[in-house]
Chain A
Amino acid sequence: MRRLVLGKVHGDASWTVLLVLILASGLTVWGLVPSVSGSLQTGLLEYGNRVSTYLVIQSNNGQLLGSGSPLLENLIPQIESIHGVQAVYPVKYNYTYEPAFFNVCLPGGSGCRNASILEGFASAAIGGENGYPQSLVTLVKGHMPQGNESAFVVNNSELGTFHNGTYRFEIGSNDWNSRQGVKFNATIAGVSALNPLTGLIQILWNRTFLQNELGSRLYNSTFGGPPNFMIIKADNVGDVQSVATSVSKLLESGSNFNVIYDQATLLALQALESQSAPLYSLLTGASLVATIAVVLLVSYLGAARRAWEPGLLLTQGWTWSKYSKFVLLYLIAIGLIASALSIMAVVSIGHFLLYQYQVSGNILTIRTTINPFYLISSVPLSLAVSAVVSLVTTERMKHMGLDNILREY
């Protein structure tokens, strides 16, 4: 029977290729859809857990405070003890000013002249006591400032103000002509991915450079001292709301501080978790059912194509069970070929499948990780499909009866 099976695989090539392609397509979908959906889900949730697990304490009405607050400093141990809080990062920030020049034409025909305004950017030094934690800086380009490099990191990749070049800054005064502040030149070292909350602090300075440039007295009065901004990292997105509630209770009413978090993203992620998972499961199940249905239908219809074949074999001493075994072996051969093809297809396609999302101005790239369970399970699945199809086709032939199937040749 082995030679007969191999002969049919090879000799009945068009039919074999058709069944292999249908089955391989279905198995590829079976291997790919759950992997893609799993990767998307995991990727988005990981991103969500990375980005939307942050809360910040800032002044009421969204106004960043210029001076530090002992209140925040005193609350750190209590906030750290709240269930679901992973870490607390107190930050002292201040403003860095940069003059912006433009042409102003006055009404009444008195002509145009150059004018300037001072643009202030919320800034913090990277690292150190009450500095912006370096662990939260995710560079999307450039590098971290090194040594005494007169450079800064733009903490908001959507901030279009800065491009490559040297900028003239002032720290310590909001009046360009004042003698209180220190003026200096600096360049961009890198750009950090935007987090809508932590990105409220727009410029991150090289601490060493800033300390040298400002001197200890001015540095301590601008970027030292108690924090005026606090970043809280929750364990996961599910903890964010309860942490926000607990922290709000700790903050006294009228303290000028409030807690904010990215509620929209949080809700979207929770919806993704609760609603998309069943959808992906449904897609996977539906693709499998569709594959089996198509293979069954094609095999069922195809059985009539060579109905005389079982007729011939039965008149030559075969029993229906022997014929059923022959069909099963043929379909197993097809199933194994289809499995091998589908495994190669899943691995190849999965390698090139990249999903990119625009998230808060950044491109979130999610690669497809092939789930080995679905890949390996394609083999027993193809064998199970083969068994079902052989059973169905044999039963159909039996139902037709030997006399009828021979009448068609």
Chain B
Amino acid sequence: MIELKGVYKNYGAIKVVEGMNLRVEDGKSLCVLGRSGCGKSTLLKLIALITRPDRGSLTVDGEDVSRMTDAEMDKMRRDKVSYSFQEPLLIPYITVLENVTEVTGVTREKAVELLTSLGLGDRLNYKPPKLSGGEKKRVDIARAILRSTSVLVADEPTSNLDPDTGERVMEMLRAHTERGRVLVYSSVEPSEARFASQVINMEEK
């Protein structure tokens, strides 16, 4: 479960998140809609414990992270939250498979199974510079899914993907919530809200 109460986040003079209140129960999903630059990614980074709120409280699984030390937040992030980047971020000097196993610590078998189901079975030993944008995106998402944390945050998970693959990826992400976990994702496409149990439109803040 995640809960935000009166959360503010500014970048200098720019107010990105203002007095945000929301709550997502275990087994539920939240879609954050809005155009580029409206603050979706900032909200997701708050939930993914990448940045701290300037004001207000952020609770993950009942623990208020806004009062945690850096070390406690590191631990919380390690144990509770996984994150998929808007622009896929992979280490260029190791293979696709190693980008999953070495970075997340999951077993080779699990990684091969999921990567294959995402259509990357013949790309396991490729290095990221040889992958297309869509392939990189799928590796990035596979990494987040495989960590099996109680909260999964995905920033525009279907960008760079063709409709069929996007659909498959969203189904996999939704399956995450079926195990009682929380999914938070963002999109610029209102139609993608259909995969979520809750929707928030950042342009209406």
A: residues with CB less than 8 A from B are 1, 3-4, 7-8, 10-12, 308-309, 311-320, 398, 401-403, 406, 409
Contacts and interface: CB of A to CB of B under 8 A. Distances in A.
Contact of B92 (A11, A311, A317): A11
B83 interface: yes
Contacts of B50: 315, 402-403, 406
B59 interface: no
A316 B45 contact: no
Nearest to A4: B102
A339 B74 CA distance: 35
Interface in B54-104: 70-71, 74-75, 77-79, 82-83, 85, 87, 89-94, 98, 102-104
Interface in B94-117: 94, 98, 102-105
B98 A7 contact: yes
From A3, A308, A317, A402, residue with most partner B Cβ within 10 Å: A317
A406 to B, nearest CB: 6
A312 B93 contact: no
A317 B104 contact: yes
A312 B92 CA distance: 12
Given A3-B102, A315-B85, A316-B82, 19 more contacts: A3-B98, A4-B91, A4-B98, A4-B102, A4-B103, A11-B93, A309-B91, A312-B85, A312-B103, A315-B77, A315-B82, A316-B83, A317-B79, A317-B149, A318-B103, A319-B75, A320-B70, A402-B51, A403-B45
Given A312-B89, A409-B89, A317 B77 contact: yes
Interface string B31-51: 000000000000001001011
Nearest to B102: A4
A315 B93 contact: no
Nearest to A1: B102
B136 interface: no
A401 B70 CA distance: 10
Interface string B141-153: 0010001010000
Given A402-B50, A403-B51, A7 B93 contact: yes
Interface in B8-41: none
A315 B75 contact: no
Contacts of B45: 403, 406
Contacts of B78: 317-319
Contacts of B82: 315-317
B143 A409 contact: no
B93 A10 contact: yes
A12 B93 contact: yes
Contact of B94 (A4, A314, A320, A401): A4
Contacts of B90: 312
Nearest to B42: A403
Contacts of A8: 93
B151 to A, nearest CB: 12
A4 B48 CA distance: 24
Contacts of A402: 50-51
Given A7-B98, A406-B50, A317 B91 contact: no
Contacts of A409: 87, 89
18 contacts: A3-B102, A7-B93, A11-B127, A12-B93, A308-B89, A309-B91, A313-B103, A315-B82, A316-B82, A316-B83, A316-B147, A317-B149, A319-B71, A319-B78, A320-B70, A320-B74, A403-B51, A409-B87
A314 B93 contact: no
A11 B104 contact: no
Contacts of A403: 45, 50-51
A308 B149 CA distance: 22
A317 B105 contact: yes
Contacts of B48: 315
From A312, A314, A315, A319, residue with most partner B Cβ within 10 Å: A315
A402 B89 CA distance: 14
Contacts of B92: 11
Given A317-B104, A403-B51, A7 B91 contact: yes
Contacts of B75: 319
From A309, A316, A320, A401, residue with most partner B Cβ within 10 Å: A316
B65 to A, nearest CB: 13
A7 B89 CA distance: 17
A317 B150 CA distance: 13
A315 B51 CA distance: 11
A8 B102 CA distance: 12
From B74, B75, B79, residue with most partner A Cβ within 10 Å: B74
A305 to B, nearest CB: 13
A312 B77 CA distance: 12
Given A316-B147, A403-B45, A403-B50, A11 B94 contact: yes
A319 B74 CA distance: 6
From A8, A311, A312, residue with most partner B Cβ within 10 Å: A312
Contacts of A312: 85, 89-91, 103
A10 B90 CA distance: 16
A313 B50 CA distance: 12
A402 B81 CA distance: 15
